[in-house]
A = this chain, B = another copy of it.
Amino acid sequence: MRKITKHSERMTKKQEKKRKAIIEAAIETFAKKGFHRAKISEIAKQARVADGTVYLYFKNKDELLMKAFEHLFEDKLKSITTRVNQEDSPAARLDKFFDLHIELFTENPHIAKFMAVELRQSPEFYERYPDYWPLQGYLNFLQKLCDDAVEAGVIRPMKTQALTYIIFGTVDFFLTLWSIHRDTVSLEDLKKQAIDIIRYGTRIQS
């Protein structure tokens, strides 16, 4: 397969833009159709490139999916971590995390769908790409927030891994339901309840 940028080794602005267009078209299309029903031709069309061009930028469809996740986490979710870190107390950071995480998905429904659906690939997929688990960094960040909160005495001592999974799992399930049954679920409402329960469940004084 021919590669782009054989000489320069660095992509031009134009190419970066094209690559990004393909990835963003991919996220939208995967979100709408699901990985397997999404056609490369459809992604290419949406990105305004030829089918073949996709293969100049990505080895195959699998890689496109993985790079799309990578892009998401670098581009969008990293900004969450930045903004969370601006809060000055551990408790405020945890709250902020909830807010921003849900805000991101509320404002970009197709990203929510993409995450909810495409994170779950078959066990075989994960076997084929053992290093592929795009959530790890994000979960680590969340767990760090929890650890800090314990350290600071804001929440009672506990194994924070479970708490991390409760928080992420809860939000993930909300978003899954919401992306399937948009109308019958009020995210804002649920969020309040969930924060409340988790806050009660983790605070020092019983």
Q: How distant is A136 from chain B, measured CB to nearest CB, in Å?
A: 10
**Is A170 interfacial (CB 8 A cutoff)?**
yes
Asked if A200 and B206 sit within 8 Å, CB to CB, the answer is: yes
By the criterion of a CB under 8 Å from any partner CB, how many residues of chain A are at the interface? 51
A180 within 8 A of partner (CB): yes
Q: Are B179 and A174 in contact (CB under 8 A)?
A: no
Q: Could you tell me the distance in whole angstroms from the C-beta of A163 to the nearest C-beta in chain B?
A: 6
Evaluate contact between A173 and B176: CB separation under 8 angstroms: no
Question: CB within 8 A of A169: which of B31, B162, B170, B193?
Answer: B170
Name A123-174 residues within 8 Å CB distance of B: 123-126, 133, 158-159, 161-163, 165-166, 168-174
Tell whether A122 is near chain B: CB-to-CB under 8 Å.
yes
A32 within 8 A of B: yes
| Copies of this subunit | 2
For A104-137 the 0/1 string (1 means CB < 8 A from B) is 0000000001001100111111100000010000
Q: Is the interface of A mostly helix, strand, loop or mixed?
A: helix
Instruction: Check if B31 sits within 8 Å of A123, measured CB to CB.
Output: yes
Residues of B with C-beta under 8 A to A49: none
Closest to A123 in B: B113
B202-A197 in contact (CB<8A): yes
**A36 proximal to B (CB < 8 A):** yes
Task: Point out the residue from B37, B113, B174, B200 that lies within 8 Å of A200, measured CB to CB.
Answer: B200
The answer to whether B159 touches A33, judged by C-beta atoms less than 8 angstroms apart, is no
Q: Are A193 and B158 in contact (CB under 8 A)?
A: yes
Instruction: Give the B-binding residues of A (Cβ under 8 A).
Output: 31-37, 113, 116-117, 120-126, 133, 158-159, 161-163, 165-166, 168-174, 176-177, 179-181, 189-190, 193-194, 196-203, 205-206
Q: What are 13 A-to-B residue pairs whose CB atoms are below 8 Å?
A: A32-B124, A36-B37, A123-B179, A159-B189, A162-B189, A162-B197, A163-B197, A169-B169, A169-B171, A169-B174, A170-B173, A200-B201, A206-B206
Supply 4 further A-B pairs (C-beta < 8 A) apart from A117-B120, A126-B180, A197-B201.
A116-B120, A120-B120, A158-B196, A200-B200
